[in-house]
Amino acid sequence: MSQSAVGATLGAAALLGGCAFLAPSTPHAASAPAHLRGAAPGASSAAGAAAPLAGAALLATAAALARPTESATTRRAAAVKKKGVKVVHGKEIPWNLFTPKAPYAGKVIENDVHPQTLTEDTGDANWETCHVTFDHGGKVPYIEGQSIGIIAPGPDKKGETPARIRLYSIASSAVGDNQNSKTVSLCVKRVVELDGKFANREKGEDKPDKAGTGFPDNQVYRGVCSNHICDMSPGDDVMITGPTGAEMLLPEDPEANIIMLATGTGIAPMRSYCRLLFHDDAGASADGGRKFKGLAWLFMGVPYSKSLLYDDEHQEYKKNFPDQWKYDYAVSREDKNAAGQKMYIQTKMAEYADELWELMQDEKTHVYMCGLKGMESGMAECFGPIAEKAGKDWAEFAKAMKKEAMRVEHSLKGPDGFEDALNEIRNKLTDIQSDSQRTAKLDRLQGEVKRHVSLQAELLTKTMKDILKQSTTQIWDASASKGAEEIDGIPNLLQKYPRARSLESEKFCLGANGPFFLQFYPNGDAQSQTGKCGLFLWGPDSVYVKARWAL
Ligand SMILES: Cc1cc2nc3c(=O)[nH]c(=O)nc-3n(C[C@H](O)[C@H](O)[C@H](O)COP(=O)(O)OP(=O)(O)OC[C@H]3O[C@@H](n4cnc5c(N)ncnc54)[C@H](O)[C@@H]3O)c2cc1C
């Protein structure tokens, strides 16, 4: 099967299971590894939740909640079985096909569906979010909900070149934006910080970026990788690692309900799901409808309406699938709720709290969260009162959901240096993994060599034995056909010949082997016992002879 065909089937399989790459399995595609269960990204302060996009905050937390099911409790951490593949609950998913030491060299291509810059200038330094598409030639297959790593040329924060990898959630479905399974798209927010704690451009040094934004009058910190990506143009090289991530995969049940909570670029994995569910040929059913039969409900939080990402696509789904697609967004710096409060994602969700709560009682409902830290506390804010009304404790309910089947992404935003440390650990882990894979490969090779050598030795021994057997048979046959060598006058010889004196026969051949000759000691050779004679058959060293004597 060609790479593109693999990629093309992946998307469908993530939803419905059963294809060449993904073996059919349990209804949920993935759950948190055992050691991560319950280790949801720490809920940040209420202030954090209340101001999700303040400052230079980025995609910070990616988490997914899913309703508990009986089978989910028995699931265990996925194990890497072979290179480039991870087995997640019995299914193989693409995994770290490319590592920081051996990345895939792709090319930036023209976006099919969006302009590179998705947002409009809001006046904030970090206003820009880009949609960038890379050609991977079918070499980097992935499934919805996974991430890839990008290696920028650098220099990185400590001067390293190239820079350490940065992870990005994949924003395209498995088949890619143009559905040829050869591209991958990202949704990347350009990190630009003015006069902050860190700077990599002194006053007067900052030049306008690709979007034309520059800050020559400030000390500027430009994020190493996000600026590298946002400044890319078609034809540019890009170093890709991965794919990775098994925590945010779609459930296989086509009737599952998908609730998506996204802030900012946290929309990336949600876009990847929605493309499969509502757009791609891979998600279409034979009757012209969609394979997906459940409800998908997206709540999105952004600071400005100018930063509402992929709104055109969401409106399109709303128009085409009014019974299956719901879309609500909160624009925190522009909208207010009825009580005059700023509209954050949890404020918007609170408007539908009853409906959402009811949906969450259904075990087919999966809740995916991706974006800023504080979303979890936002959920608590939204569902705490309604849970209480239903006689339940939200914290316990959420914990149970997570414990049983929640997909937990790591917290991405923390104290200064936290993200760096996290990335460093990730890099090391990937390196160790690739090293250990290399060691395992070496071990395997050595094993193979050993097996080969012993097989050769066995063959050789067998061949030698065969040859010997053959030549013995030949000799035996030959000698049998020749008859016995006769030695005349034995009694006379016994009397006349002193010990250790011998008689030698003529040289002769047995079949093709020889020459041979017989040596007879009538009164024994030097080593013989008294009263015994000695008889020797001499021949070439290389010939093994089995002989029977009759004297
Ligand atoms: C699983 C995952 C998925 C992600 N998905 C996306 C996505 O879809 N879209 C997206 O835009 N991002 C995503 N991210 C975040 C992304 O990986 C990067 O962290 C982000 O783009 C910033 O990288 P950068 O190189 O531009 O910034 P960096 O150069 O890494 O700067 C980041 C921060 O480090 C600070 N800093 C600078 N110097 C120092 C120093 N010496 N010590 C300590 N701190 C310093 C800066 O002030 C800045 O705030 C994801 C992260 C993860 C882990």
Handedness of CA 19, 24, 27, 30 (dihedral sign): negative
Q: What one-character DSSP code corresponds to residue 100? A: S
| Average pLDDT score over residue span 29-39 | 24
Pocket test for ligand 1, best of 96, 128, 172, 221 (most atoms within 8 A of CB): 221
How far the first Cα of the chain sits from its last, in Å, is: 75
pLDDT: is 301 or 35 the higher one?
301
Share of the chain above pLDDT 70, in %: 69
7, 12, 14, 18: CA torsion to nearest 10 = -100
Cβ-Cβ contacts under 8 Å for 270 (sequence gap 6 or more): 260, 262, 298, 368, 370
More confident residue, 48 or 188: 188
Q: Is the pLDDT of residue 20 over 70?
A: no
Q: Check residue 274 and give its pLDDT.
A: 98
The torsion angles phi and psi of 300, rounded to 5 degrees, stand at: -125, 140
pLDDT band of residue 65 (cuts 50, 70, 90) is: very low
74 secondary structure, DSSP code = G
CA distance 342 to 332: 6
Per residue in 150-198, pLDDT (tens digit) is 999 999 999 999 999 999 999 999 999 999 999 999 999 999 999 999 9
Query: Distance between CA 294 and CA 277 in Å, rounded?
Result: 10
Instruction: Report whether residue 272 contacts ligand 1, using a CB cutoff of 6 Å.
Output: no
Q: Residues 207-229, buried b or exposed e (16+ Cβ, 10 A)? A: eebebebebeebbbbbbbbbbbb
pLDDT-derived band of residue 523, with 50, 70 and 90 as boundaries? confident
Q: Whole-angstrom Cα distance, residue 292 to residue 441?
A: 41
Chain centroid offset of residue 203 CA: 42
Tell me if 486 CB under 6 Å of ligand 1.
no
Whole-number pLDDT of residue 507: 80
Minimum mean pLDDT range among 199-213, 346-360, 535-549? 535-549
- What is the residue with the minimal CA distance to atom 14 of ligand 1? 168
Burial of 92 (0-12, 13-18, 19+ CB in 10 A): middle
* 412 CA closest ligand 1 atom index: 53
Cα of 419 vs centre of ligand 1, distance in Å, is 7
| Residue 22: band (very low, low, confident or very high) from pLDDT cuts 50, 70, 90 | very low
Domain locations along the chain: 3-414, 442-538
| DSSP helix/strand/coil, 449 | helix
Nearest-CA residue for ligand 1 atom 36 is: 198
| Percentage of residues of the chain with pLDDT beyond 90 | 47
Q: How do strand 104-109 and strand 237-244 relate by DSSP bridges? A: antiparallel
Whether the pLDDT of residue 261 is over 50: the answer is: yes
**Distance in angstroms (rounded) separating the CA atoms of residues 80 and 76:** 13
Instruction: Round to whole Å and give the CA distance between 238 and 222.
Output: 19
Q: How many C-beta atoms lie closer than 10 Å to residue 377's C-beta?
A: 20
Lowest mean per-residue pLDDT among 32-36, 146-150, 542-546: 32-36
Calculate the dihedral angle through the C-alpha atoms of 511, 516, 518, 524, rounding to the nearest 10 degrees: -130
Per-residue pLDDT at 430 = 61
Which pair of structure tokens corresponds to residue 58? 């980025």
What integer is the mean pLDDT of 208-228? 98
Higher pLDDT, 458 or 215: 215
Given pLDDT bands bounded at 50, 70 and 90, which one contains residue 273? very high
Q: Count the neighbouring beta carbons within 10 Å of the beta carbon of residue 434.
A: 18
The continuous run of DSSP H or E covering 495 comes out as: helix 490-496
Q: How confident is the model at residue 472 (pLDDT cuts 50, 70, 90)?
A: low
Range 301-322 average pLDDT: 97
pLDDT category at 374 given cuts 50, 70, 90 is confident
Helices 394-405 & 375-389, crossing angle to 10 degrees? 120
Is pLDDT at 74 greater than 60 in this prediction? Answer: no
Q: What is the CA radius of gyration of the chain?
A: 38
User: CB–CB of 13/19 below 8 Å?
Assistant: yes
d(CA 92, CA 6): 12
- Evaluate whether 181 touches 8 at the Cβ level (below 8 Å): yes
Tell me, what amino acid is at 215?
F
Q: Is the pLDDT of residue 33 over 70?
A: no
Instruction: Please tell me the predicted confidence (pLDDT) of residue 29.
Output: 32
Which pLDDT value is given to residue 257? Answer: 96
Whole-number average pLDDT of the chain: 77
Mean pLDDT, rounded, for 19-40: 24
Fold exhibited by the domain 3-414: Rossmann fold (3.40.50)
- C-beta of 193 in contact with ligand 1 (< 6 A): yes
Ligand 1 mean position, distance from CA 166 (Å)? 7
